[in-house]
Amino acid sequence: MNAAPSRNAPGLTRIGCAGWSLSRAGQAAFGAGASVLQRYATRLPMVEINSSFYRPHQARTYARWAASVPGGFRFAVKLPRAISHERRLRNAMQPLEQFLGGVMALGDKLGPLLLQLPPSLEYDPATVAEFLQGLRVRTTRDVACEPRHPSWFTPEVDALLSDHGVARVAADPARVPAAAIPGGDRTWSYWRWHGQPQIYRSAYSEQALEGLAQQLQREFDAQRPIWFVLDNTALGHASGNALRLQALLREPAHA
Per-residue buried b or exposed e for 24-49, using 16+ beta carbons within 10 Å of the residue's own CB:
eebeeebeeeeeebbbbbebbbbbbb
Which residues form the domain of 74? 13-206+223-243
Q: What is the pLDDT of residue 1?
A: 43
Residue-wise pLDDT tens digits, 190-237:
999 999 999 999 999 999 999 999 999 999 999 999 999 999 999 999
Whether 201 maps to a domain, the answer reads yes
Residue-wise pLDDT tens digits, 126-153:
999 999 999 999 999 999 999 999 999 9
- Please, which residues bridge with residue 15 across strands? 228
167: enclosing H helix or E strand = strand 166-168
Whether 212 maps to a domain, the answer reads no
Q: Is 82 exposed, middle or buried (0-12, 13-18, 19+ CB in 10 A)?
A: middle
Domains: count for the chain: 1
Which CATH number belongs to the domain containing residue 36 in this structure? 3.20.20.410
Nearest residue to 141 via CA among 185, 177, 174, 179: 185
Whether 123 maps to a domain, the answer reads yes
Nearest residue to 182 via CA among 214, 156, 146, 131: 146
